[in-house]
Amino acid sequence: MTTIDTTLGATAVDRTPARVAPVPLTRVVRVELRKMFDTRVGFWLMASLVILGVVATIGTILFAPDEELTHNTFAAAIGFPMTIVLPIIAILSITGEWSQRTGLTTFTLVPHRGRVLLAKTLSAVVVGVAAMLVALVVGVVGNVAGTAITGTELIWDLSAAQFGTIVIGSLLCLLTGTMLGMVIRSSPGALVVYFVMTLVLPTVFGILATSQPDFVDVQPWVDAELARSFLFEGPPQGEQWAQVAVTAALWLVLPALLGLRLIMRSEVK
Amino acid sequence: MITIDNLTKKYGHTLAVDEVSFVAQPGRVTGFLGPNGAGKSTSMRMMVGLTKPTSGSATVAGRPFADLPNPGIEVGVMLDASAQHAGRTGREILTIAQQLTGVAARRVDEMLDLVSLTPAEADRRVGNYSLGMRQRLGIGTALIGNPRVLILDEPANGLDPAGIRWMRDLLREFADDGGTVLLSSHLLREVEIVADDIVMIGGGRIVCQGSKADLLRGVGSVVRATDQRALRGALHASGFETALSDDGAVATDVEPALVGQVALRAGVALTELRAAESGLEDMFLQLTADTQRDGTRHGKRNQKRNQKRDQESERKAA
């Protein structure tokens, strides 16, 4: 029992509880980042990002028409799988606290749920931005290698402004995952709703637009997927920015506030 | 120190916790006892801010839990050893707690050592852990910040006898160093051995509380003598009831010290004298009898004894 003597008893005397420093937010963010990738699921999601990036690059070199082997094509090919995988990472980061019940530990070590959620949101943004930078670099490598292999001209057609809007678009996708995690708080449930939102909803809006001519004007104001595509297809113009903002408020900010309220009031069991 | 003041939780019309008040003192192990569904876990969740009380309050180390700047280094909490991500390794779970509390990285290895998880076990995913290993890991997580207060919900669950002995020694040592321990359990024997103070809860209400020594006073004795008849006669003459148990011993409601005096005065040589073995268990069953799930056979059999003791404990509680 000597272990207990040294580890438990050591600080019984020299401890001054009055001067305890609060847990800084940066520390919570760092731990939340770690928690995104330290599970088996997290590891494979991370691995799938890399694998999909490489596959997309090779696929582009093999199958894209030679004249389209440009930096933009490569960046888009790599960015697309990321917009699918990143929200899943964001969802699981939040729902795990409930589905895996780790919240019992997390929310007792940091007894302010808003702070934990802020840290999770920030760490999701960090991962998103990092992934986009990786996509940019892989795009550069792919473009240089691809054009060298096919012997076509090297074209740099991705402007800084365009890259910026792509990053914003990806972050909106990513934060949709964060929002769903907060509202639903169950891994399977949130994943199902996520796929409904990204796959089924745009189709429904598309059908509506073709069958109801009046809806065409309304669609960009309510269809988040459509509004986001303005961001991915080059810097949006005037009204399109407003449409991005309105759809983000409708599909992201409002439900996220509702989810936050639910989490603040709910019981952690 | 943990101070609970009129803690109440209502779910719709159901009163899960009903005006629970008690204090867990430093240097003592406080056992929080009650049958399943009595409100132990709900009370503990309210103490650490995971459940919002309907009314009442709880403070840990003098402050509401949410006001603790870095709770992990002041209060060690383990509410459910199974509430861990199955895909993380034991070492990773300790590392997360170590980083979040900001204590030295070597604490991870120290805790693994303390809870006797081998390096190989620590690198396995928790999904493959037995309940006993999860309990050990949970204790390690609770202790990593070197706190002065421990709040543990059913820590002995799933531990083997050696593990239970280990846990008991650890909690004893922690309290002897001046720490505060609050542990809930339905494993009465465990609590009976390790606890200094006992809070019994049934149907959301405290049914009795006090130091173990006080509560166990008056649970009765088991006594044997070379001349059983003389012994029983002497006890009857002093106004005490006795009964002959199946194995030939004399059972009585009187506490051992008093039996000894009676026997001395009567000149009866005793061969055995001890407190009734199942003291706490008996008390537990009778006090929580109306809140027990599966019948009160035991409670009814002892009803006569119980009434007397109920009155006694009510007097104590008041």
pLDDT, one tens digit per residue, over A196-221 is: 998 899 999 999 999 988 898 889 99
Q: Is the pLDDT of residue B266 over 60?
A: yes
- Predicted pLDDT at B205: 92
Q: Is the pLDDT of residue A20 over 90?
A: no
Q: Which of residues 91-120 of A touch B (CB under 8 A)?
A: 96, 100-105, 107-112
CA angle, corner B141, sides to B138 and B144, nearest 5? 150
pLDDT digits (tens, 9 = 90+) for B180-239: 999 998 877 778 889 999 999 988 999 889 998 887 766 788 899 988 889 999 999 988
Name the helix (H) or strand (E) containing A87. helix A71-99
Q: Which of B80, B70, B46 is nearest to B146 (CA)?
A: B70
Nearest by CB to B68, which of A27, A35, A111?
A111
pTM comes to: 0.84
3-state secondary structure at position B243: strand
CB contact under 8 A, B113 and A96: no
Q: For B62-96, give the secondary structure using H, E and C.
A: CECHHHCCCHHHCEEEECCCCCCCCCCEHHHHHHH
Name the helix (H) or strand (E) containing B23. strand B14-24
- Predicted pLDDT at B125: 95
Q: Is the pLDDT of residue A14 over 50?
A: no
Q: Is the pLDDT of residue A6 over 90?
A: no
- Predicted pLDDT at A18: 52
The DSSP-derived string for B218-237 is TS-EEEEESSHHHHHHHHHH
Residue of B nearest to A32 (CA): B96
- Predicted pLDDT at B294: 57
- Predicted pLDDT at A134: 84
Secondary-structure breakdown of chain A: helix, strand, coil percentages, each rounded to the nearest 5:
85, 0, 15
**pLDDT confidence band for A103 (50 / 70 / 90):** very high
Segment A42-57 shows an average pLDDT of 86
Question: In this predicted structure, which of A248-257, B182-191, B198-207, B256-265 has the lowest mean pLDDT?
Answer: B182-191
Residue of A nearest to B141 (CA): A105
Cβ-Cβ contacts under 8 Å, B110 against chain A: 3, 7
Q: Is the pLDDT of residue B302 over 50?
A: no
Q: B303 and chain A: CB distance < 8 Å anywhere? A: no
Q: Is the pLDDT of residue B306 over 60?
A: no
**pLDDT confidence band for A3 (50 / 70 / 90):** very low
Cα A24 to Cα B101: distance, rounded to the nearest angstrom: 10
Cα B152 to Cα B174: distance, rounded to the nearest angstrom: 13
Q: What is the percent of chain B where pLDDT is above 70?
A: 89
Q: A64 and chain B: CB distance < 8 Å anywhere? A: no
CB contact under 8 A, A39 and B50: no
Name the helix (H) or strand (E) containing A230. helix A224-232
ipTM of the complex: 0.86
Q: Which of residues 34-53 of A touch B (CB under 8 A)?
A: 34-35, 38-42
- Predicted pLDDT at A15: 47
Q: B180 and chain A: CB distance < 8 Å anywhere? A: no
Q: Is the pLDDT of residue B86 over 60?
A: yes
Cβ-Cβ contacts under 8 Å, A109 against chain B: 71-72, 97, 100-101
**pLDDT confidence band for B264 (50 / 70 / 90):** very high
Q: Is the pLDDT of residue A4 over 60?
A: no
- Predicted pLDDT at A106: 96
- Predicted pLDDT at B297: 44
Q: Which residues pair with B199 in a beta bridge?
A: B32, B209
Name the strands in the sheet holding B250-252, side by side, starting at the edge strand that comes first in the sequence: B242-244, B250-252, B221-225, B270-275
Cβ-Cβ contacts under 8 Å, A15 against chain B: 146, 148
φ and ψ at residue B23, rounded to 5 degrees = -125, 130
Q: Is the pLDDT of residue A16 over 60?
A: no
Q: Is the pLDDT of residue A255 over 50?
A: yes
The DSSP 8-state label assigned to residue B199 in this structure reads E
Mean pLDDT of chain A: 87
